[in-house]
């Protein structure tokens, strides 16, 4: 019972860290996209 609880908790932690990673990569993609857009706009 205790073991299952620990496994569940570690799984939750993994999920939250995965979510954080996804958000970070999404933000990086977004910022690079915006930068490229601004570069194109400023060049034209």
Confidence of residue 1 (pLDDT cuts 50, 70, 90): low
**Alpha-carbon distances of 13 from 4, 8, 17, 28, rounded to whole Å:** 14, 9, 6, 23
Distance (Å, whole) CA 10 – CA 5: 9
More confident residue, 3 or 42: 42
Q: What is the average pLDDT value for the chain, to the nearest integer?
A: 92
Distance (Å, whole) CA 24 – CA 39: 22
Confidence of residue 4 (pLDDT cuts 50, 70, 90): confident
Confidence of residue 21 (pLDDT cuts 50, 70, 90): very high
Give percent of the chain with pLDDT exceeding 90: 66
| Residue carrying the six token digits 């690079």 | 32
For the whole prediction, is pTM greater than 0.75? no
């Amino acid at each position: 019972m205790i073991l299952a609880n620990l496994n569940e908790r570690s799984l939750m932690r993994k999920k939250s860290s995965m979510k954080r990673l996804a958000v970070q990569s999404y933000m990086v993609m977004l910022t690079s996209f915006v930068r490229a857009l601004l570069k194109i706009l400023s060049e034209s």
